[in-house]
A and B are shown apart, each in its own frame.
Chain A
């Protein structure tokens, strides 16, 4: 069965500092990994995804994520955090078999202080 773990409920960083939001996954076959962001009372916005190829994926708003197959991780990173990055972040995974749904983690709240 597919699963996603986001071990931190909340991550606090100061503006200008680098940030990391952690994600580990379990899936049969090759993984397709996604990060989404959610602002209060809004839907989910797509940030980036890993399908194949380069382990470092670049996405929207300066975010990037590193795929590590041996550690089954897909951590979200940004070199310099902004206060406007404060939001709820979700990691999601699906397998490469037909019909598998996208499964989400519980989310990590990122709080960036000025």
Chain B
């Protein structure tokens, strides 16, 4: 098992463009999470899935953000009409269900909006 993988690792885009990030979780994990981290801050929760169902979304997740997990395996996070304030590292994580189970993080996808 290779852990949580994210692609691309780095993305530079012009303001107004759309970007999409992909996350492949640990294979047996039914929960998948997206977090955002800016410099000097801890990760901020965006959303999570249990299997293919999106169960919770943060108020941070504006209408320009959409996440999917169509077959309960990999997930995509799309940001439409990017803004400079979207520049951050987007972290994907996965776990088994249950609050005591460890959440394992990927290496993150850096987004720079110019």
Whether the pair B100, A32 counts as a contact (CB closer than 8 A) is yes
Q: Please count how many residues in chain B sit with their CB below 8 Å of the partner chain's CB atoms.
A: 24
Taking a contact as CB atoms under 8 Å apart, the answer to whether A46 and B104 are in contact is yes
Q: Using an 8 Å CB-CB cutoff, how does the interface string of B11-49 with A read, 1 for contact, 0 for none?
A: 000000000000000000000010000001111110010
Instruction: Verify A94–B99 contact, CB threshold 8 A.
Output: yes
Chain A contact residues: helix, strand, loop or mixed: loop
Interface residues on A, range: 20 to 34
Measured CA separation A44–B92 after assembly (Å): 10
Docked Cα-Cα span, A41 to B45, in Å, equals 19
Which residues of A come within 8 Å of B, CB atoms? 4, 32, 34, 36, 41-46, 49, 51-52, 90, 92, 94-107
Check B41 against A102 for contact (C-beta < 8 Å). Answer: no
Docked-complex contact A101 and B56, CB < 8 angstroms: yes
B42/A106 in contact, CB under 8 A = yes
